[in-house]
Amino acid sequence: MMVWNVTYNDPGRWREVYGVAGPKWGWMEGLIATVKGCPIGSPKLHLESVDGLPELEHGGAGQQQLTPINFQRTQAGAVAYSKVRLEVYGIPFRWEEVQSTERRMPMSGRPRMELVFKREDHRVTFTLSGSQRAIARMEAWLAMAMAQSS
């Protein structure tokens, strides 16, 4: 499974999410990481599109119902959170599954970033947008998070 509805506090579901992404950081560890300059939470960006996750492709991308996306760093990866209508979805992945992160600077419109991860034969591409500063902050956050996990 690639996507979990995490709207409701279901301990079994959270075990599955963190089973993929790795254990979450404790609050004290998260506070220390933040003070050291690598916070647990990422900057928020707008989710322009999702390829490879039919649950989100159909659920809102075509209707512009997707809200901003943010990521929570875990001990082995991250969980991406996005909202479709009134439901919150978690998409967990491990750092070793990340295939690429690439900035796209269109001639017009907002800067974009693609984050691609692959689990087994399933490839997922997030196209994220934001200001140049927000994209740069996200790139720095990802680089720090992946470096700390190595």
Which residues does 108 contact at the CB level (< 8 Å), separation at least 6? Answer: none
Q: What is the CATH number of the domain that holds 28?
A: 2.30.29.30
pLDDT in tens, 20-67: 999 999 999 889 988 988 899 999 999 988 899 887 765 444 445 557
Give the global pTM: 0.89
User: 């500063």: which residue's tokens?
Assistant: 133
CA distance 146 to 96: 9
- Three-state SS annotation for 51-112: ECCHHHHHHCHHHCCECEEEEEEECCEEEEEEEECCEEEEEEEEHHHEEEEEEECCCCCCCE
State the total domains in the chain: 1
* Owning domain of residue 76: 4-149
pLDDT in tens, 86-130: 889 999 999 999 999 999 887 777 899 999 999 989 999 999 999
